[in-house]
Amino acid sequence: MRLASLAMYVSPPPVASATDALWAFIRDRLVDRGIEDVPMALDWSVAYDHAWFEPNLLLSQACGLPYAKRLQGKAQLVATPVYDIKGCEGPSTRSFIIVRSQADVASLADLRGLNAAINDRDSNSGTNLFRAAIAPFAHGGRFFSSVIETGGHLASIASVVAGQADVAAIDCVTFGNTKRFDPARLEGLRVLAETEQGPGLPFITGPRTTEEELHALRSILAEAITSPTLAAVRDVLSLRRFDVLTDADYQRLSDLESRAAALGYPEIA
Contact 9, 15 (CB under 8 A): yes
Q: For 227-249, what is each residue's pLDDT tens digit?
A: 999 999 999 999 999 999 999 99
Question: Same CATH topology for 3-86+200-254 and 92-198?
Answer: yes
What is the rounded distance in angstroms from the CA atom of residue 258 to the CA atom of residue 265?
9
Instruction: Give mean pLDDT, residues 178-198.
Output: 98
- How many angstroms separate the CA atoms of 158 and 221, rounded? 34
Q: Structural domain boundaries of the chain?
A: 3-86+200-254, 92-198
End-to-end CA distance of the chain: 43
CATH homologous superfamily of 3-86+200-254: Periplasmic binding protein-like II (3.40.190.10)
Neighbours of 196 (CB within 10 A): 14
Condensed to tens digits (0 to 9), the pLDDT of residues 10-42 reads: 999 999 999 999 999 999 999 999 999 999 999
Q: Is the pTM of this model over 0.85?
A: yes
Q: Does CATH place domain 92-198 in 3.40.190.10?
A: yes
Query: What angle do the packed helices 153-162 and 172-181 form, to 10 degrees?
Result: 70
